[in-house]
Amino acid sequence: MFDMYDLLDALSELVFVTELETCELLYMNKAAKEFCGDCKGKRCYDAFHGDKELCDYCSVQELSEKKFTKRPHINKINGKVFVFRDKLVNWNGKNARLTISTDITQQNELEQRLKREHFIVSCIVELHKTKDINSAINGLLALTGKFFGADRAYVFNCDDETVSNTHEWCKEGVTPEIDNLQGLDISVIDRWQEPFSARRCVILENIDELREISPQEYECLAPQGVNSLIVSPLEGNGKLIGFMGIDNPASENLYENEVYFETLSYFVSSMLLRNVDESVLRNLSYTDNLTKIYNRNRFIEDINVIMESDGKGVGVVYTDLNGLKAINDHFGHYRGDLALKTIASILVKTFGKTHSYRVGGDEFVALYPCDDEGRFKNLVEQLKRQIDDIEYNAAIGYQFSNDCRELYKIVKIADENMYLDKKYFYRNQKDSTRYRFRNDTFTAISTPELLKNLIDEERFVIWFQPRFTAKTNEFCGSEALIRFFDEDDVLVSPMDFVPEMEENHTIHLIDFYVFRHVCEYISGWLKEGKNVKPVSVNMSHKTMLHSGFMENLMNIWYDYNIPKELIIIEVSESASNGISDVVSVLSELKKRGFQIAIDNFGAKYADLYLFTELKFDILKLDRDLVYKIENDDKTRLLSESIAQICHNEEIKLIAEGVENEKELQKLIEIGCDEAQGYLFDKPMSWNWFEKKYLK
């Protein structure tokens, strides 16, 4: 039979008995001896903790003869976590303490890990539960400071020369320091740069360590009451953009928090970077890059503001520069840009910058809240006289109403009046056939019935322009383009008939015609085992808003059931009303598995807000941007920003209209993924395209 000592030696827990007055060890079981080694003549605090005096947490008053008292303990020698259970006993006639110690290190580590993982999840939720980045970061800092028992939690922003405290949370009773930590010289964190560059935390366990090794850092931290800290770098695009940290955390082992801080800083960095992207977008999305006046996005927003205002009257002026394409073709894009800037300048001079907008490639609008119709018409006449005095010509249409709630209707009428003025201009130009006569061809496309006849006669054909990877010039896809042969079998440019279809609401017939034939071509190529690459198909703004658009498109797709990754739905360049009101249609197409491409970005109808409102796959830089990227620094910087945003959002960037190697090289430098244009190949008939590229 085992005696009592044999039973105690069989336990895995550490069991020891100490005299109350002297703390002398009276007994140790086998497990305790193996843990502590030779403890002959030692006191319990020396044997178990390596201390030379009585432990400050050891209290006899709390002990009882009737029950065990439990207390946690972290061993100073090996860092293990124990639970001590103490009880008063009489040991061979002496008043003593019986202690049973259980090692709970693994259990404690699991609990701590789970707590920290729950903390990380809570922080991620906090970062994303509001769109206001300041509120999100302040909420995260509060969670972080409380979780780690810190005095202060903070985020700093860095540039090449300074560091500044942007966000701060303080424990109750701790004095805020954010106002004192603005514009500090970047040298104050010189010691942190090396670990930051390796994406590691900086951990300071005792500020006194800095007195000799980094006096400047010490002089900055000491007045703030910092005794210890942990800070982690915040990165964006491979560059240090700031850091986040906590002062005086409660944890004795700061290094055990390092991995969690690094994880947290990753999410904060991502959010800050996204906020920078969105800030760039906000700045871009309301200002036209060329003329520096408001663009279509601001125009649409201001229409709603005016309609909801207390004002009564409002006037609208539509102005369209005549002959922009001819100016570009004959004198170069520089002269075309100068013409646009001139029209914008006159509009601003007449109606003011806050009322002036560039809403399309060559279209401008003034929204002028005013109760005096006579004053408004005088300003319109003034606008006309100023335009008459310059070398360029512009079509002008206007409308006034005493009720600003009718603004949408007024805008439409002013646009129509401008269009009539534009037609009058071209019909009176002896060298122009544009708008001059409604010959049989243009009359034929004015009604759905007559247009269907032309389609049946195969007067409309589909050509393909190949697309290539920018760096390697490998064929990677194509764009389907519509072409039209008139009664004399002369090839007519889409610029001459697409606007007519837009005006007469027949463009959907052509868009669906192209979509069906592209699906048919792809289906046939796949059956023949050809190397098929994605084909983009233009869908105009009016087609996407046409009744039954989604049903018609899906019915065509069901007829051929081709892989959706081989079809790219591209917003048509003829979207003269912008694309903000078809976001829901594009979102639905995306949900149904189609790739979405935004065309003509950087000029005409590019809606920058789409980066935050719509998930799309491809962004196509407009030819105007591509043309100017070689010699215009502002255009290049804008294009670089766009490319960076695209890469951050995993959006493919494609350049249109690339005509020479210098343009291509600049596009490669900014990070353009693919390109199309005459440098690579011209648009061609489907059968020639098949022979050349679908081997």
Residues 6+ apart with CB under 8 A from 320: 362, 363, 364, 394, 395, 396, 418, 422
| 504 & 622 share domain | yes
If one counts every other C-beta atom within 10 angstroms of the C-beta of residue 640, the result is 15
What confidence tier does 610 reach under pLDDT thresholds 50, 70, 90? low
The answer to whether residue 468 scores a pLDDT higher than 90 is: yes
Q: Is 97 helix (H, G, I), strand (E, B) or coil?
A: strand
Task: Say which CATH number the domain at 400 has.
Answer: 3.30.70.270
pLDDT at 35 (0 to 100)? 82
- For residue 445, how many other CB atoms are within 10 A of its CB? 23
Taking CA atoms, 109 is separated from 5, 143, 446, 476, 485, in Å, by 32, 21, 77, 52, 77
| Nearest CA among 657, 639, 675 for reference residue 284 | 639
The CA–CA distances, whole Å, from 624 to 101, 303, 347, 635, 636 equal 78, 28, 22, 10, 12
DSSP category for residue 562 = -
Q: How far is CA 195 from CA 38, 240, 377, 500, in A?
A: 43, 12, 67, 64
Q: Which of these three, 87, 103, 119, is where a domain ends?
A: 103
Mean pLDDT confidence for 607-614: 67
What residues does 487 pair with on adjacent strands? none
Pick the closest to residue 141 from 265, 229, 322 (CA basis).
265
In which band, very low, low, confident or very high, does the pLDDT at 430 lie, cut at 50, 70 and 90?
A: very low
β-strands 356-358, 674-675 pairing: unpaired
Give the pLDDT of residue 438: 40
Q: How far is CA 209 from CA 214, 222, 252, 391, 472, in A?
A: 8, 12, 16, 74, 54
Asked, for residue 356, whether it belongs to a domain, the answer is yes
DSSP assignment letter at 175: P
- Residue 329 CA: distances (Å) to CA of 293, 323, 338, 358, 632: 25, 10, 14, 22, 19
Under a CB-based contact definition with an 8 Å cutoff, are residues 672 and 692 in contact?
A: no
pLDDT, tens digit, 9 for 90 and up, residues 146-189: 888 899 999 998 888 889 999 999 999 999 999 999 989 898 89
Q: Which residues contact 639 (CB under 8 A, 6 or more apart)?
A: 602, 621, 625, 629, 667, 670
pTM of the predicted model as reported, rounded to 2 decimal places: 0.48
DSSP conformation class of 300: H
Same domain, 448 and 487: yes
Q: Say if residue 480 is in the same domain as residue 596.
A: yes
**Rounded mean pLDDT of the chain?**
83
- Domain count within the chain: 4
The verdict on 271 and 396 lying in the same domain is no
pLDDT at 24: 86
Cα 489 to chain centroid distance, Å, stands at 48
Query: How do residues 575-598 score in pLDDT, each as one tens digit?
Result: 445 566 788 899 999 999 999 998
Task: Examine the domain organization and report whether 584 and 493 are in the same domain.
Answer: yes
pLDDT-wise least confident of 202-211, 526-535, 561-570, 574-583: 574-583
Inform me whether the pLDDT recorded for 462 exceeds 90. Answer: yes
Q: Which domain holds residue 10?
A: 4-103
CATH number at residue 86: 3.30.450.20
127 and 84 fall within a common domain: no
Question: Are 161 and 92 members of one domain?
Answer: no
Q: Give the domain-ending residue among 55, 72, 103.
A: 103
